[in-house]
Amino acid sequence: MINGVIFDLDGTLIDSMGSWGNADRRFLIENRIDPSVDPLISEKMKRLSMREAAEYFIKLGVNMHPDEITERIEKLVYDEYENTIELKPYVKDFLEFLDYKKINYCVATANYRTLTDTVLKRHGIYDRFKFIYTCAETGIKKDSPLFFKNVAEKLESEVKHTAVIDDSVHCIESAKNAGFYTIAVLDDTANDDHSRLKEISDMTIKTFSELIEKADLIF
């Protein structure tokens, strides 16, 4: 039975993946680089840390320091996190369920801490999570099994009794290889990933209402 839950943020708790694809392209355009130079750039960004993404932009011809790039990208999407990005359907209902079951849960994300805090506070759920764990603050990428093991330890939950809920193939693979119960969220912006996620995860959902319906099977 599951007694701890590790949530991803983007594409899992919040409907934000479209914002990042647009930000990549807007950033390149304002630096006079045609986004078509790499049609797969948005897919590549999913696997890169903020620093690695900045270094990749430099390879594409951006003449800026990596720190300047990360700051600019953050500014490009900040307004949406502060004002328009919505929670995925039934997120609050599922958190209510976890609270009722007295199950600890947290957020583990590759996103900026400022954006994470901003969007969770705007939707009134920031204080419900036991903690927020980010790649930038820990220096470990989400494709490393150590990332999720460290989160579970901080959550005080055994790996085999902890669920990782994520929308990314490489994160689900990482968590699965580390021994976690994996629940893949099938985000509409990544339809090409759905077949792989169904293949490797323990469970797939489109919305959290499906997970609530199946909750008695795993919680």
Q: What is the pLDDT of residues 143-197, one digit of tens each?
A: 888 999 999 999 999 999 999 999 999 999 999 999 999 999 998 877 888 999 9
pLDDT at 148: 94
% pLDDT > 90, the chain: 68
Amino acid at 84: T
Per the CB < 8 A criterion, the answer to whether 5 and 165 are in contact is yes
Torsion of CA 45, 46, 52, 54, to 10 degrees: 40
pLDDT at 194: 93
Q: What pLDDT digit, counting tens, does each position of 82-93 carry?
A: 999 999 999 999
Sequence-ordered list of residues with C-beta below 8 angstroms from that of 21, at least 6 positions apart, any chain: 42, 189
Q: What pLDDT digit, counting tens, does each position of 126-150 carry?
A: 999 999 999 888 888 888 889 999 9
% pLDDT > 70, the chain: 100
**pLDDT: which is higher, 51 or 66:** 66
